[in-house]
Structure 1
Amino acid sequence: MSTSTSYEAKFRVWRGDADSGELRDFTIEVNEGEVVLDIIHRLQATQAPDLAVRWNCKAGKCGSCSAEINGRPRLMCMTRMSLFAPEDTITVTPLRTFPVIRDLVTDVEFNYRKAREIPAFVPPAGLAPGEYRMRQEDVGRSQEFRKCIECFLCQDVCHVVRDHEENKQAFAGPRFLMRMAELDMHPLDEASREGLDRQRAVQEEHGLGFCNITKCCTEVCPESIKITDNALIPMKERAVDRKYDPLVWLGSKIRRRRSD
C-alpha cells in the first residue's frame, strides 16, 4: 500500500496487433485514488498516443475495459492502484481467450455469436407484458443473473475455451450457460409451447457437459454473480435428472402425452 499521494509506477503494457506484439515498459505517475484505467489514459496522453484501449462508462457497468492485469482478468476501471505496492511492476495485457485486434482491444465477436444461438424468452400465451405475475423468490433468482454487464471476464477465464480453441464451436461458455439456466428456471417461460427443450439444448447444443465447475468464472465476476453455484450446478442437476432419473423421465413422458 502506498503511503504517499503520488509516486512513479512501473507498467508493462502489451503493444501489437493480430500478427505480432510485445510487452513495452513504461514509468508513469500514479496519484492517490486512481484506478488502472486512469493510468492507461495517462499513458495515452503523455507517452503512447496510439495505444488502443476499449472503454466507455468508467463506472464498472459497461464491461468495455476488460483486460488481464498481472495475469488476472479484471475491469481496468474497477482495479484500484492501491491494490499494488509502489515497487510492483504492473502488467496489462489483452484478454487471452479472444483474438487481438490491436494493443488491449480484442475481438469478442465469439460471445455475440453464442448469444444469437440461444432462443429468446417465450412469453406466456394470452398475457400482455404488464400482466405477468411471479413470486418474489423467482424474481430474485432471475434478477441475480440479469446483473451481468457482459464484460466477458468469465468467458475469458474459462479454461474450456481459453486453453482449447477446438471447444469454441460446441461450448457456449459460462455467461451463456447462465442465460440458458435463467430461462429454464423462469416460471413464465413457455419454451415447450414453441417446441423448444432448453434442458436438452443446453446439454447437447451448448456444451454444458464441458463445464467441470472449477468456479473460476464466479471468482472474476465484477458483479459477484454466483455463476457456478446458482446457475451452472442447478442446470446440470436438472439436465441430468431429466436424462437419467427414471421417475423424472416417466413424468415428462406423461405430461407430454397429456398435453398432446
Structure 2
Amino acid sequence: MSSYEARFKVWRGDEQGGGLEDFSVEVNDGEVVLDIIHRLQSTQAPDLAVRWNCKAGKCGSCSAEINGRPRLMCMTRMSVFDRAETITVTPLRAFPVIRDLVTNVGFNYQKAREVPAFVPPAGVGPGEYRMTQEDVDRSQEFRKCIECFLCQDTCHVVRDHEENKAAFAGPRFLMRIAELDMHPLDAAAETGLDRKRTAQDEHGLGYCNITKCCTEVCPEGIKITDNALIPLKERAVDRKYDPLVWLGSKIRRRSS
C-alpha cells in the first residue's frame, strides 16, 4: 500500500471567528477525506470538532465544504485530488458555526416542522393503501434524501441572503412539499390544505430560480430541480394564474 503526505487547510474556530490552519498529513490508498480528518484528530489536532456517524454516505452527518464545494467527507475520495494539491476543508457556509467543522443546522429542522405531514385518506385503514408502481417510484426518489443539507447549503437563496431564511424553506423541504402534493393518497386538499398555495405563499417557492445547484451536490443523485421543484412551480402557477382554473374555482358546483 502506497502513501504520501498531503497538504490540508482546515478551518478552526467558533462563532466568534477563526481561520484556516495548515496541516501535513499521511494519506493511504483508498482513503476518503473523513479518514484524513480522523487522522488529524488522532495525531495533530485532538480538539478538532467534526460531526460524523455512519461513514457510509447514508447519515448525512459529515457535510462540509471541500475546496469550496459542499460534499460528504466520507464519500469524497482522496484519489480525486492531485497529490500536489492543497485541500481546503471548511464548515457549511450557510449555517452558523458552532466549532471548527460543526455547524448549527437547526434552521433545517425548524423548516421541517413547518411542512404539514401526510394526511391519510378517509375510510382507508393501515395496510389498505394502493398505489401504482409509477407513483411509488416517483415518491421513492425523494425519500432517498439523507438530510445532509448540502442542497440547503449550496442554494444561493439561503447561502448568500440571510434575510431570506425566514420566508424560504429551501430545496430539501420544497422537495418534501412536492412529494406530498404528488402523492395520490394524500388527502390534504380535503381538509382545506392547498399544498401548492402554501408552497408559494408560506415556503417561498417563488424565490427558487432553478439554477440546479441543489441537484448538482446531492450525494443520492436526486433530481431535485427537474423532478420536484419545476413540477411544483408548474402546479402552483396553474393553480394561481391559469384563467380556466381560476374561473372554475369561482363557479359553484350545483348540489344534486
Q: Aligning the two structures, in what range does the TM-score lie when normalised by the shorter sequence?
A: over 0.9
**Superposed, which structure 2 residues align to 1:80-229 within 5 Å?**
80-229=77-226
Instruction: Single out whichever of 87-96 and 191-200 deviates more from structure 2.
Output: 191-200
* Residue 240 (str. 1) matches residue 234 (str. 2): no
Letter in 1 for 2:13: G
How far, CA to CA, are the matches of 1:109 and 1:125 in structure 2?
Answer: 34
2:16 pairs, out of 16, 19, 37, with 19
Match of 1:57 in 2: 54
Letter in 1 for 2:157: V
TM normalised by structure 1 equals 0.96
Letter in 1 for 2:247: L
SS in structure 2 at match of 1:129: coil
How far, CA to CA, are the matches of 1:42 and 1:232 in structure 2?
Answer: 40
Q: What 5-or-longer segments of structure 1 have no aligned partner?
A: none
Letter in 1 for 2:206: G
**Inter-CA distance 21–69: structure 2 relative to 1 (3 Å threshold):** same
SS in structure 2 at match of 1:169: coil
How far, CA to CA, are the matches of 1:92 and 1:137 in structure 2?
Answer: 41
How far, CA to CA, are the matches of 1:257 and 1:104 in structure 2?
Answer: 58
Q: What 5-or-longer segments of structure 2 have no aligned partner?
A: none
Q: CA deviation at 1:128?
A: 1.3
Letter in 2 for 1:219: E
**Inter-CA distance 250–31: structure 2 relative to 1 (3 Å threshold):** same
Q: Percent identity?
A: 84
**Inter-CA distance 199–7: structure 2 relative to 1 (3 Å threshold):** same
TM normalised by structure 2 equals 0.97
How far, CA to CA, are the matches of 2:131 and 2:39 in structure 1?
Answer: 49
**Inter-CA distance 239–29: structure 2 relative to 1 (3 Å threshold):** same
SS in structure 2 at match of 1:130: coil
SS in structure 2 at match of 1:27: strand
User: 1:194-220: CA deviations, max 9, x gaps?
Assistant: 221101000000000000000000000
What count of residue pairs does the alignment treat as equivalent? 256
How far, CA to CA, are the matches of 2:243 and 2:105 in structure 1?
Answer: 41
**Inter-CA distance 217–59: structure 2 relative to 1 (3 Å threshold):** same
How far, CA to CA, are the matches of 1:99 and 1:258 in structure 2?
Answer: 55
Calculate the aligned-residue CA RMSD, in Å.
Answer: 1.4
Q: CA deviation at 1:164?
A: 0.3
User: 1:60-98: CA deviations, max 9, x gaps?
Assistant: 000000000000000000000000011000000000000
User: 1:81-130: CA deviations, max 9, x gaps?
Assistant: 00001100000000000000000000000000000000000000111121
